Structure 1
């Protein structure tokens, strides 16, 4: 069984890598952006319990999957922190990939990304959000929230299983 988590900064290439892996290995793909937010303006996070239900539904419907996002609180639900923890083992990831890509590379990705129709009603709406996204990307190293480099490093360190850090972007 393949159960892979991919995480890192905004615009690090998580979705691109997840789509490649999903296509190559025949895995179901879940972008956590699609279930982490309420449809409000400005966007607000869903409560953790609602997102948890959606993640549980996805992992129950798919034996093999790749899940990606920057949400350490949601990703934490899918990692087995101990070799003796066997509760709901079916939902645990057996591999994680941490995209520890430079901030400058993430900014370049954000500036050049195609329209993400699952996130924005138009390319213009996406572009209107670019300045905020770049500020968000720049704060990755200094934030201490669930989206931060610190939270990602802690998640990586605690994971028991196959893990890999990628520090360069390959097309």
Structure 2
């Protein structure tokens, strides 16, 4: 299994990847782990891609998930399936509001909650963004992929993956 899951923040990428792995064990990489330095500064793209390449080479079965189309584009040809989660901005915002504490990203639940309004503002801009995080970039990547792919627009569809 070699799957890439692409979508907006809050679209359900981590939840879906964990659900798939619970049925069929595989290594999992959230691109958040390779996209940034320890602080909020974005790493050079080549460094992030090199780390993803190492992850792929080190694992026979894997899921990579994230919103970074510029990183995904560099390794997309190595996946067997692309899943594009596109449930709509309001669903993503609802997921962000209800997500449990993510200790791999925040030192405390309080720190995570203090960042919530910034995250929601960022998620809300998804349909209008023109960078690698936006809907148009994700849709272009999805449309250009010639392998097995699925665009899921309703969270109920996540259950059948």
**TM-score band, normalised by the shorter chain?**
over 0.9
Partner of 1:33: 32
TM norm structure 2: 0.95
User: Structure 1, residues 17-59: CA drift from partner, whole Å, max 9, x if none?
Assistant: 011112211111111111111112xx11111111112111110
Q: Shift of residue 159 of structure 1? A: 0.6
Asked if 1:148 corresponds to 2:134, the answer is yes
Structure 1 unaligned residues grouped into runs of 5+: 81-91
Give the greater-gyration-radius structure (CA).
Answer: 1
Q: Which has the higher helix share?
A: 2
- Taking structure 1 as the reference length, the TM-score comes to 0.89
1:71-94, Cα deviation, whole Å (9 max, x unpaired): 0001101122xxxxxxxxxxx001
- Equivalent-residue separation in structure 2 for 1:113 and 1:97 (angstroms): 21
Pairing 1:77–2:74 present:
yes
Matched residue of 1:118: which SS? coil
Shift of the alpha carbon at 1:125?
0.6
Q: In the comparison of the two structures, how many residue pairs are matched?
A: 157
Q: Does 1:165 align with 2:145?
A: no
Query: What is the match of residue 103 of structure 1?
Result: 89
CA distance in 1, matches of 2:76, 2:11: 21
Distance 1:23 1:29 in 2: 11
SS in 2 for 1:141: helix
Q: Runs of 5+ in structure 2 lacking a partner?
A: none
- Report the secondary structure of 1:38's partner residue: coil
Aligned-residue CA RMSD in angstroms?
0.9
